[in-house]
Amino acid sequence: MPLKLLNNVFFQSIFLMSLLVVVGIFIPNWLVFVITKAIAYGLVGLGIITLMRGGLVSFGQGFVFGIGGYTAGLLGTQAGLTDAIILLFISFIFTGFVGLIIAPLLARYRDIFFAMLSLAFSMVLYGILIKIDAIGGSDGFVLPESTYFGIKPSKEYADYILYVVSVIMTGIVSILLRYYYDSTPGLIALAVRENELRVEYLGSSAFNVTVLNFTIAAGLGGMGGALNGIALGHIDPEFTYWTTSGEFVFISILAGYLSVPAVFLAALLLELVRSFSGRYFPDTWQLILGVFLILSIIFIPSGIGSFFKQLFDKLKNK
């Protein structure tokens, strides 16, 4: 990617982050909370998008989502570490390390075998967590209130402060990922998606690219789990359940793999549809969500990201 375009991506991201921070001042608290949750889910979806660029889809991202959430929760309750920024960073590093350990096993598989093996890891962790009464069992446990650089905000501003932190950290992650996607390993992943055998013949390793992508996806999933747990103030085994992983796949399909911002827009649409459907149609909100996904696949087969890519291409040509 030319340097000029990289600079454009950087400054556009800074502008968008600044805009979101300012907008957060004027929107109601319930919407601030919904957007923060959407950012948490979007981070996990961004990890799946990273895998999708290499032709793979994980049905078990609840595994790293749960590890990230429990990492932040246990550090808060057992070690007394309550700084949200540090917790997010530690969760990212730790789950990325876990992903690096299991990635060589998963990277040997493709298609449905990769998807189901990742799901198996998630459900094994779910089964373990509901049996450990020391960390709440099936009920989970409550997290202590978060601090920021040692300062504990008032309840009136706590949600907004977390929102600002999540916007800034996600913006930084998104910029770095955009750079990675346009780097040599990121472009090789696209080649692996199209023809893995030809990539191997040309001297690159599809296995290594998959390991790298899964490690990144694991780190992002852990950060998303930690952010979701901090926002909710509660952690439970449902973080690792297969339906939670399914929601991440929903976000990824809706967004497509062509754009980073589209992932967070898709996550926000999911949260809004779930919130309003759950409020007005509490017994059928899953049906509404399913219809929404079907319509998205029919009318936007390449995902929301295709619109962003078209806009980006027009700007690039100018």
Q: What is the pLDDT tens value at each position of the chain, 318 positions in all?
A: 444 444 566 777 788 888 889 999 999 998 999 999 999 999 999 999 999 988 898 999 999 999 999 999 999 999 989 999 999 999 999 999 999 999 999 999 888 899 999 999 999 999 999 999 888 888 889 999 899 988 888 888 889 999 999 999 998 998 898 889 888 888 888 888 888 888 888 788 889 999 999 999 999 999 999 999 999 999 999 999 988 998 898 888 888 877 788 888 888 888 888 877 777 777 777 777 778 778 877 877 777 766 666 665 555 555
Supply the pTM of this predicted model: 0.89
Q: Give one DSSP letter per residue of 11-70, joined into a string.
A: HHHHHHHHHHHHHHHHS-HHHHHHHHHHHHHHHHHHHHHHHHTTT---S-THHHHHHHHH
Report d(CA 143, CA 112) in Å as an integer.
36
- Where exactly are the structural domains of the chain? 3-241
Torsion of CA 156, 158, 160, 162, to 10 degrees: -170
Report d(CA 88, CA 286) in Å as an integer.
30
